[in-house]
Amino acid sequence: METWLRLAGLVYKNVDKKMELRSKKGQLPIVQLNGKDIEQVDGIKKLGHQFEKDLDAGLNNHQKIVSYAMTLMIENHLFWVLAWWRTSDSDNVIKGYRINMQHVLGSKIPNAILNFHFRFLYVPLQAKIVKARGMGQYKPNEIMEFGRNDLKVLSDTLADKPFFFGDEPATLDIVAFATLAQIYFIDQEVKFPVRDYMQESCPNLVGHVNRTKEMCFPDWDDICKTGSLPKPPPEGKYNKEERKKRKKLTMRLKMSEEEEKEVGKNYKVRYSNYKIRNISIN
């Protein structure tokens, strides 16, 4: 979703609720637009229609069919290979993604306790979901083979093109990046056969992931270092004085109505005009 927002050139704001605020279907992330939740499953389609942004406008009918089929394969098969690994090897999941549970949950409880909570409460629940999707019925080596086969199909479809349908990214590129990045960027010290196959046998997919990352997330390294939510560039570059004003503005909005009147109504008007231009992602 965020990759699409950046490619579409829409201004938005990340909101970190520490996994507490979810959609009615229990999903994260969700988009809030004009006070209404937009489910991730159809978020791109709805937002694209709302803002007249269609990354697939230049595709012919055959390409749209390929995009539809590949999207279903990624979201309903390849992703669940990854989801199975996450529920079968939770220690390596924490290590592979360098997860800081204190940051994720917004807790001061020691990470050792939070990691225990993750392994014995969260993981079993997710394992039931994976099993219900059918992936949990197979042996580990069979599941890894499923993943390799899916990568092979994606690699053959991409071939030597920068993106799946040419020189510009389309919706399929976003869908692929969302899952392939979660495979490719698993720490090298953690064993994961699907990632190893991707690196060794699908160099074009590796190139695709890095190409999309560089195009859409120039702040990727900063995000990884700080562990904070990515912040897309504003509509203009602000100097230090402007940033100070915005910081003071946020503080003043937390005051009572009486205090707010004292500092002036102008701040409230400016903040409201700014907020309208943003899409909040939870």
State the DSSP code for 166.
B
Read off the pLDDT band of 110 (50, 70, 90): confident
Burial class (CB in 10 A: 0-12, 13-18, 19+), 91: exposed
Collapse the DSSP code of 163 into the 3-class scheme (helix H, G, I; strand E, B; otherwise coil) and give the result: strand
Q: Work out the percent of the chain whose per-residue pLDDT is above 70.
A: 71
Type and span of the H or E element at 37: strand 36-38
Read off the pLDDT band of 126 (50, 70, 90): confident
| Token reading at 6 | 């950046």
pLDDT of residue 228: 55
**Cβ(204)–Cβ(158) below 8 Å:** yes
CATH class held by domain 61-226: mainly alpha
Query: Which pTM value belongs to this model?
Result: 0.74
The per-residue pLDDT for range 61-84, each reduced to its tens digit, is: 999 999 999 999 999 999 999 999
**Cβ(94)–Cβ(195) below 8 Å:** no
**75 Cβ contact partners less than 8 Å away, ≥ 6 residues apart:** 175, 179
The per-residue pLDDT for range 127-171, each reduced to its tens digit, is: 888 888 888 789 999 999 999 999 999 999 999 999 999 999 999
Cis peptide before 29 (omega within 30 of 0): yes
pLDDT of residue 70: 98
Q: Where in the chain is the domain with CATH 1.20.1050.10?
A: 61-226
pLDDT of residue 260: 44
234 or 45, higher pLDDT:
45
Q: How many helices (H) and strands (E) in the chain?
A: 16, 4
